[in-house]
Chains A and B, each alone.
Chain A
Amino acid sequence: MPQEETILRFPQGLVGFPDRKEFQLFEPTDAYPLKFIQSVEDPDLSFTCMDAAAVKMDYEVPLDESTARTLALEDPKDALVLLLMVVPEDPSQMTADLAGPLVINAKTQIGVQVVLDSQRFPLQYPVFNAKDDVLIDFPAGLVGFPRIHSFRLFEPAGGYPLKFLQSVEDPDISFTCMDVAAIRPDYEVPLGEEDASVLALEAPIDALVLALVVIPEDPRKMTANLAGPLVINAKTRIGRQVILNTEQYPLKFPILASH
């Protein structure tokens, strides 16, 4: 991982700036999670960027062989992916460019700006889209908590991809959770008739599926409950905890071991 003030080399420059090949990477702690890259050749030219995983956990850059060769990337784990950010006057409208990621070999500090299909990878991905506070109603409560129905779902500062689900009736009760897609992209909830009718989902895409997360003292051992997912109709903001067979869906799925 580059430390503060690392020099990154882009042999092909950046798109639109073919002769700007060296950039200094700054990671000021007070600007976290934003980072900055500044051209060494032209200090007036600088860009705001962010770690791709801090924008979108399941973002993955498809890298062809020739680009991988330019980067001399032996292990995908050595890649650092930065997204260029547009920060307008109202910072809550900040967007990330998912179509032109900077992929850097963290070992050699050599980088390439990869150009992806902007149909699939938006040029202006709203960073705070999913980060707003929303109120969600669980008509039946959560299992073991039948009397609390109204919850605030929000992301604590710097807590992406974790979210908190906090009871409106009793703010002392809150749960840690995260989008199941970031844990197991292939996870699917078989919805029984009752669950489906309470949720009144019109299309699977309207469903937001969250797993409750247990964070022990050693956070590397955190687990997700895949047997009791929270399924939320994103349109109506009605949610329900669905109970699945614990033999098939683990109650304590080790999140970090899965990557």
Chain B
Amino acid sequence: MLVITRKAEESIVIDGNIEVIVLGIAKDGVRLGIKAPREVQVHRREVFETIAEANRAATPTSAAPVLEAAALLRSSAPKVRLTKHR
């Protein structure tokens, strides 16, 4: 891993088009600013991991009862709603 020391308001450039700027250093953390092209997704690691894990969980195993689940969903769909006036 590359380790670089930076002071507040200094930055690093990644791949020519992504800039990570140290905005401020405080007791409880470092504030970073990120300038990147719009298609580059930037996430906090723990959020990224959580969503990635949730994505992996949504890849069905061959044993997943998909059709049974679909039938349950259909039977739970709303059917009629009682109204006072048509």
Contacts and interface: CB of A to CB of B under 8 A. Distances in A.
Contacts of A90: none
B81 A60 contact: yes
A176 to B, nearest CB: 5
B67 interface: yes
Contacts, number: 164
Nearest to A65: B84
A247 B58 CA distance: 20
A158 B74 CA distance: 11
A246 B67 CA distance: 29
B79 A61 contact: yes
A162 B41 contact: no
Given A140-B41, A251-B50, A63 B80 contact: yes
Nearest to A54: B74
Interface residues of B, number: 41
B64 interface: yes
Interface in B27-57: 38-41, 43, 47-48, 50-57
A53 B79 contact: yes
A161 B74 CA distance: 7
B59 A173 contact: yes
A169 to B, nearest CB: 14
B69 interface: yes
Interface in A137-175: 139-140, 142-145, 156, 158-162, 173-175
Given A215-B69, A256-B72, A57 B77 contact: yes
A191 interface: no
A213 B65 CA distance: 12
B11 to A, nearest CB: 20
Contacts of B74: 51, 53-54, 57, 160-161
Interface residues of A, number: 64
Contacts of A243: 41, 43, 47-48, 51
A143 B73 CA distance: 26
A51 B75 CA distance: 9
Interface of B: 38-41, 43, 47-48, 50-60, 63-70, 72-86
25 contacts: A52-B79, A59-B77, A68-B82, A76-B78, A76-B79, A76-B82, A79-B79, A79-B80, A161-B70, A161-B73, A175-B58, A175-B59, A193-B38, A194-B41, A198-B38, A212-B54, A212-B55, A214-B58, A228-B51, A243-B41, A243-B43, A246-B47, A251-B51, A256-B76, A259-B77
Given A222-B69, A243-B41, 6 more contacts: A60-B81, A61-B80, A64-B84, A76-B79, A162-B69, A259-B76
